[in-house]
Amino acid sequence: MSIQKTLGEFIVEKQSDFPHAKGELSALLSAIKLAAKIVNREINKAGLVDITGASGVENIQGEQQQKLDMYANEIFKNALIARGEVCGIASEEEDNYVFFDNKNSRNGNYIVLMDPLDGSSNIDVNVSVGTIFSIYRRVSPLGGPVNMEDFLQVGRKQVAAGYVIYGSSTMLVFTTGHGVHGFTYDPSIGVFCLSHESLTIPKTGKIYSINEGNYIKFPLGVKKYLKYCQEKDESTNRPYTSRYIGSLVADFHRNLLKGGIYIYPQTAQAPSGKLRLLYECNPIAFLAEQAGALATDGYNPILDLKPTELHQRVPFFTGSPEMMATAHEFIAKFKDE
């Protein structure tokens, strides 16, 4: 029986892949690994203890904060503070960025942006949810406070990014710019084991993921692309299959493995779409490009967009390159209608 490589062993083995890191990025990823195990434990018993459901508090997005959202935020924040490599974080659950102002952390070289529990409205109905994280080197002077410039870096500057998916099994999927690698959690021994090395998305697929309930509000090009997906044409394997569970991490992960496209477009009411650039779209886009997929706002690569504010939203298209090319053609063709 072969013993799979653990995440810890993999990080040590790939140490030379981490730019500048003298083991710091490795320690940072280990902190994320620890926090993921703790959050996983709480999610797996969420139905048993009073930790599901809304907390009665709204976050800056004006969304009902779920208790597990806040719990996950604290767990990841504390795990990162404890390690000293991180000098500050930004989070969907925090109105502003947080400076880790202690002697241990203020010399940290890295900042982390995260969505601690994405898709959390699914928790109460036992549907997969996820954590998304994005890691940059700080640009502010070492030893001093972090500032907004640290957090508004363009996505291409990320040194690492990943997600944890709490699903039928719990997986941690990450990249440091040298491919995308997936680790499946084995709770019987408490370790993440390498299960998907060098993940690469199929060039095309048969799955499209979008909330079709918003159809009448979509731009014409998106509507035309959806009709294209639904038409019968055996030569291009259509009609495609619609799969959308309202959890970006789960929808992206499935499409990464099977091929597909995920779309959260702008609408007249939400001209910038819904998903947040810094801690949802940028990390997923880094993973996407590392896995041979594309990630755009319908026109430009997500990773090239210059952020202007912490919680800004962008339209988000990501998936198999051939499906993305076709979607872009429809969007370009009907962009002025």
Which residues make up the interface to ligand P6P (CB under 6 A)? Answer: 118-119, 211, 246-248, 251, 274-275
Task: Tell me how far apart the terminal alpha carbons of the chain are, to the nearest angstrom.
Answer: 60
Tell me how many degrees the CA angle 200-26-97 measures, rounded to the nearest 5: 90
- Cα–Cα distance list, 161 to 177, 178, 262, 269, 281 (Å): 9, 11, 19, 30, 11
Instruction: Please identify, using beta-carbon distances, which residue of 68 and 275 lies nearer to ligand P6P.
Output: 275
How many CB atoms neighbour CB 328 within 10 A? 17
Gap between the Cα atoms of 279 and 116, Å rounded:
9
Nearest approach in angstroms of CB 69 to ligand P6P is 10
Instruction: Please identify, using beta-carbon distances, which residue of 67 and 274 lies nearer to ligand P6P.
Output: 274
Gap between the Cα atoms of 76 and 279, Å rounded:
14
Nearest approach in angstroms of CB 10 to ligand P6P is 27
Nearest approach in angstroms of CB 120 to ligand P6P is 7
Instruction: Please identify, using beta-carbon distances, which residue of 85 and 280 lies nearer to ligand P6P.
Output: 280
Instruction: Please identify, using beta-carbon distances, which residue of 93 and 118 lies nearer to ligand P6P.
Output: 118
Nearest approach in angstroms of CB 214 to ligand P6P is 7
Nearest approach in angstroms of CB 124 to ligand P6P is 14
Nearest approach in angstroms of CB 306 to ligand P6P is 22
Instruction: Please identify, using beta-carbon distances, which residue of 31 and 229 lies nearer to ligand P6P.
Output: 229
Nearest approach in angstroms of CB 119 to ligand P6P is 4
Instruction: Please identify, using beta-carbon distances, which residue of 33 and 254 lies nearer to ligand P6P.
Output: 254
Nearest approach in angstroms of CB 181 to ligand P6P is 22
Instruction: Please identify, using beta-carbon distances, which residue of 211 and 242 lies nearer to ligand P6P.
Output: 211
- Taking CB atoms within 8 Å and a gap of at least 24, the contacts of 39-45 are 39/68, 39/71, 39/72, 39/75, 39/76, 39/116, 39/117, 39/131, 39/164, 39/166, 40/164, 40/166, 40/170, 40/185, 40/187, 42/68, 42/71, 42/72, 43/68, 43/123, 43/129, 43/166, 44/166
Instruction: Please identify, using beta-carbon distances, which residue of 77 and 274 lies nearer to ligand P6P.
Output: 274
